[in-house]
Structure formats: structure tokens, C-alpha cells
Structure 1
Amino acid sequence: MSSANTKVLKVAIVGAGPGGLAAAILLSRLPFVELSVFEQARELREVGAGISINQNTWRLLQVLGAADALEEFGKRGDQSVDPNTPARSRIERYKLQQALLSRVSPDLIQLRKRLRKIDDSDDDTFLEFEDDSTAGPFHLVVGADGLRSAVRQHAFPDHKIAYTGKVAYRVLIPQEKVAHIPNIPPGSCFWHTPSTHVYTNPLDNGLFEIATRATESEEDGNKVSWGQVVPKSQVVKHYQEYCDTIRAVIDAPDEWLEFAMFGGPKLETVISGGRIVLIGDASHRSGAAFAFEDAFTLSSALEYTWNRRLSVAKALEIFDSVRGPHYEKLFAVLDAMAANAKAAAISAKDDSNHRVEQTVSKNWKANETAWIFEHNVWKDWVTLNDLKELNLNAGDPEAVEGSREAFAPPAVSIAA
């Protein structure tokens, strides 16, 4: 089904996490898009604890129209040990999801739709689901279905992911459960050993967030990438070398959510066949901010090519040319961080405190990593020579959040 001569662009988004919802918000603003969203879950709910809102995330939340709903809930700090540290805030994950959902028409999202197959063998593209239903035809399929993406499996069948040996444990508990523990900082704080870390943060509404990371062999349990309830005995064993305060904090919850870390090789491209594109964790596991940036770039590329009677395939090429170099630069930083952590873990001649200091110092030098959190996706867009005259809001007077002004540095300081 060619999009070149049609009056409507039929788009399917697979997945209704942060990236899928962001894409739904932005694509639904385009008057020529007929949109469907498919989500495998029985109900939309976010698992986990808190999520960091950095400057790049906040800009995109303004574009999405979701920032105002989060303003009253964000947990902010006003000080940093490094004045060059990027500003950020912390919010509960489910509140972020609710803010995004408030900008999506409820009838767009179809639940209990687990993707089984994509049939794009002919000009038409159809989706087949585990309940034996089908949907289509579509001009474009957007894979926003997370780390274990069924869309990616279809588009890139040779790409495999595997357990990395790292797990994250997260929990939200009432602050009363830790109120008796001495020396808990009143704001967010990281605690480190050479191979683990613990993050503590008092959130709003009397909740206390704890997020940790550790190394654990696959034989220690049946590893899954989503939140799986585990007893505290599985968690506390990793943090016995910490100070009394942190050991008491780790012991406070009765149970935790475990998230096993999975990963695979970096994709050289995230587009396939001129009709499929991956965004968010389906393409590169990098968090909500990068998924929002993907969604913004995709919607912008589609509008640009539609207004010039160019194909969807051309829009996807433009998307890949904008996002590919950014991820290349990002993964160079992440690879260096992994190498630093590995070197610190196997170092025998230095004491633990020195190894922690060296690892944190190497990984989070503000002048080397600040660009990640301060990144302005608009600048990537307009630097392409053939897009400098782009008007992203042509024909959409309601989309004031998508204007150039929205991509100026946010007026609100959002320090961690």
C-alpha cells in the first residue's frame, strides 16, 4: 500500500509505554495521520519506582503537553556539589505515565493485543495478534514495544539479546518505615561500592524510593526484564558491606521488584523495509528521554516528507540520519563507563573507597556527560541542510508546544 498518493497515512504503534505514548501524542496532532495503538497488557500500569527528569526530558514533556501535570509532583533539590551538573528532578513512574495518558484519546489504545506476526510481504502491511485478530493495512508500523520487542524480532531476526549479569532492585515504601534510621539524607543520594550502588530518595506523598544495582548470576533465579516480586532476602545479601544506615534501609521493605538487565549489540539501523521503525527501548535501551526524542524526530520527519509528497521510506531515512549519530555518541560514553566499572572491579591494589571514587569520577565528569542530559533534539533537526526551513507546526495551530520557543532552555530550574 503506497503512501505517495493517499490522503491519509495509516500508522500503527505497537506498545504504549512512555515512547509509544509520546509517539501517539505527537502523531495524533498530524491531520493526515490515522493512528492505532496496540498494547499487550491487560491494563496500562507502570512498574518500578522513580524516574529522573533531566533538562532534555523536561523540554520534550513541554512539547508533549504533559509538563504542567507533573510540575506539582516533582521532587527537586536546589544544590549540587558540582555547579556544572545538569539540572533534573525526580518523579514517580506512574505519574509520568498518567500525565502522558491524559494527552492521548482513550479510544486510540487497544489493550490485550500481543503481537504475533507482521505480514509485510506484499504492498500492504498487516498485524496479527495472539488472540487471532488482525489489524491493517498500515503504511507504517512503529515498534515501541520495549526491550523484548516483537517488532524488532520481525525486522531484525538475527538480533539477539541476553542477560548481562546485572540486576536492578526497586521499591517504594512509606517514609515511616525508614524514619527511625539515623543519617538518611533529606534529598536524593547515591551510595557506592566498586560493583554495586544504592540510590535513596524521599518522594512526595510520604513515599521513600530505593533503587539498587548488583551483579547476579543467571543461576540465582529465572531472570526476566520486567518487575518481578522477590523477597528481601534476595536483595540484602548484596549490600552487607555497606554502612549501618544503608543496611537498615535495604532491610526495611518486605519485598522488592527485580529487573534483570538484558542487552544486545547496537543496531546499525532502526528502520526496515521502508515501513517499520523502532523507537525507545525497542531500538536502544536508553530511557524515556531518548524515547521522547525518537518520537519527536519521527513525527517531524513524517510531517516534513508528507508536505513535500515524499514517501514514508524517505521519512524513515531522515529519522535514522538524525538519531543514528546521536546514539553512536551516546554508546561510546556508555561503553567507556562499562570499561571503567570493569577495571575498578578487578583492581586489587587499590582500596574500595579509592576504586569507587575513581569509577564515579571517570564516569560522571560533568564536561563529558552533561551533553546527554542537556541535549536539544531540535538542534539535531535543523542542522540537516535540507531541513533548515522546516515549519513543524504547519496546519496544526493547536500544537503550540512544538514551536521553536518550546525548545529554548526551560524557564523552570529542575535541579536534582
Structure 2
Amino acid sequence: MRFLAVKVLLISFLCAIEGFAQLANDACATATSLCPSVGVSGSNIGATAATCPTCEDNFTFCFSGTNSVWYQFNTNVTGGDVAFTFSNLNFNLQANRGNQLQATIVQAVVPCDAATYAMVSNCEAGSAGAFTISATGLPANTTYYLVVNGAKNGGATLPAEATFDLIGSGTGFDRPPAGLSIGGPTMTVCPQTPTSFTAYLVNCTDTSDFYWSVNGTLRAVTQSSLWLTSELQNGDVVSVVCSCFNICPDTLTYTYPAVSVDPLTVDAGPDLTVQAGGSVQLVGTSNGTDFMWNPTQTLNTPYAISTYATPEQTTVYTLTALNANCALSDEMTVFVSDNLTIPGSFSPNGDGHNDKWVIEGIEFYPDAQVVVYDRWGQKIADIAGYSLTKAWDGTNKGKPVSDGVYFYSLDLRLNNDTKPLKGSITVIR
């Protein structure tokens, strides 16, 4: 048993160093696909004999199918002649092993069913150097197999094993070069305007998805050849990548010339907040020549870059700028606030309840300023950044004021044109 184990290990080692592991294309069902005019490096080293249950090597043409490797190819849409050239044959030089390769092209009515094989090319019975296998007049869109094995020439008891280079061509195999181009804008594009790009393909079937990039960054993947974008900047470069053919795919790339985008800009300005009944200035910026704000009903000059708004409710205003070629719009929102609750009285008597004049909602106006006057118009309190912690406590320079009615001016300080809110407050002790 120990001797048998050592023998198995020795055989495994020899197989490893000589490359005798079973090849991926050892069987017809796992044949390696060949592509037009694309060279491959092949080998039949380690190919199994006809006893392989799925190899379908049980055929005899000018050679038997033992120890074969398999390749597969499809004729093109026109059909015609095909030729496969073998070169750079390097044989495994071993005692009692042949030194010639054999090959032919086989058609199978039933894929990989040896009973339906038919030879359609010349049959190379044994060659130690470069040789060609060729077939003429093959029909279009048909699958064929190129089968290769080693000869037992010169009285050898072991079939030849070799590495080789293989390339195929011919009118029935070659494909017209696939081509890709892009149709796009031929003149200056207006900013933020939907712009279409179309990929045009020639000699391409089984098209993949289209991968669209701008300046080298992937932006979209489309199943159709059309891509629409509104995000182009001046000088952007659009490119597309796709592939043709499920078998022997061909990846294509095309880059469209840099896009020219009109320099028109517009900015409606930041969102603003105004107390109900107040007005606010809308200040836009643009390099356009003409302007229009919408909606116009609450604006005093809707056709100027800057205007005043007196909205009754929260309103989205759109500023549209125009030049000789383009129009461009931007939006801003004026929020109308009615969230202030201004108490008419408070009782600063030190009982811990209602001791300060707390204005609910004032926290939304961090820059608010409150000025309190007595009945003779004398200022007795001036509080900037009015808040819960800075609310008026009914004192004047640290001394309690007397009970009675006082008057206030509350400036929310949203902008220079906001009118202060005015009213009265009663101090009750």
C-alpha cells in the first residue's frame, strides 16, 4: 500500500510538471471559441483519450479522435471560405511520443454528437511544422468545430503533445469592422437645456447597453442609443462605450467634440422670510440683458433684476434671464411667517410665572431687535438678538418699571426693507 501511494504521488508530480492536467477544451461541449483574426495560444498537452464519456472523440477521419482538443467558430452573415493557420509548434519531446499534429474542421448536425459529424475541410494527417486547415463555401451563421490532436507517428506509442499558435480568417469568418459614432448638437447649447446625443452603429449586432460619460466620468447607462442631458457645461466632452456581438464581443468607444454652452447665468438669490404683511427685496444676479420675475401679482417691478415682493403667503418666485440666444431661470422662496405670538401683558412680580415678556416664535429670528418706550416716548429697553434668555424683565437700567402701558417696536431684521412690528404691552405686578 505504501508503494502504491508513492507511485500515485510520483505520477501526480510528473503530470504537474508536464502539464497533464485536463484541458478546458478537452471535450466538444467545452470547445474554445475562436474569433476572426484574433490569435490564440493552444495546447493539446494532457488531452484525454476516447474513453472520456463526454469528449465525443469517437470519430475517424484521416486520424482518430483520441487525445483531441476542440475549438468552435461561427461563420459570418455572408458565409464563404475559412482558413486556420497553425504556427510555432513546440512538441513535448519524450521517448515513444509522436511529434506531429493532426487537425480538421467538423460540422455536427447535432452539436457534439459524434454520430452526426461530417468533415468539411482538408484533413491534416500529421505535420511537425506550420500548416493550414481550410474550407470553402461554408454557409452563413453556422457553427463548426476545429478538432486538433497528436499523431503517433514513426511507431510512437504515445500521441504527440505540443503548444501552438492558431489564427483564423477568410471571407466566411471575417467580420466587417464595426463602427461607432455620436450625433449631437452642432451649435451652441443653451445652459440647462435638454440636449440629445445619439449613438450610431455600423456592422454591429447583439448590441450591449450604452455607457455615457462626460469628461471621463460615467453619467448614464441606456439600453437605447439615445441619451438626453440638461447638465452640460461649456467645454464638456461626451463619450460613449458599447460592445457588439455576443460571441467574440468587440468593444467600441467614440468621443464627441467639446460642447459649446452659452455663458448665460442667473441666480434668483437666497430664500427669504418675511412677517405677514411685510415686504422684502428680491435681488437676482445675471449676465443676461432682459429679466422677468413670476408670479408678478405681488411684485412692484417684475421686469427688473431687483424688485420688492409683498406676498400674502409663502411664494416661490422664478427669475428668468434672457440674452440674444437663450433663456435661463432660477427659483427662490419667500416664506411668509405668521408664527409670532406677542403677549399683550406680563407680570414681573418674581413669582416665577410670566415674569418676562416672552414672544413665542422669536427663535426663528435670531437678529430680532425689541425697543420698549414709555408713554412719553422715552426709551426704557433696547434688546438686540431678542430671545427667551434676553426677554424684557420689566426693568429700566436694572430698576423695576411701574405698572402700566408701554409701547414696543419689534424689528425682525430680515433685511433693510422689513417694517418693524409695533404695539403696546401692559406691565402688571
Q: Smaller-chain TM-score range?
A: under 0.3
Instruction: Judging by fraction of residues, say which structure has more helix.
Output: 1
Please tell me whether Structure 1 or Structure 2 has the larger radius of gyration of its CA atoms: 2
TM-score normalized by structure 1?
A: 0.19
Instruction: Judging by fraction of residues, say which structure has more strand.
Output: 2
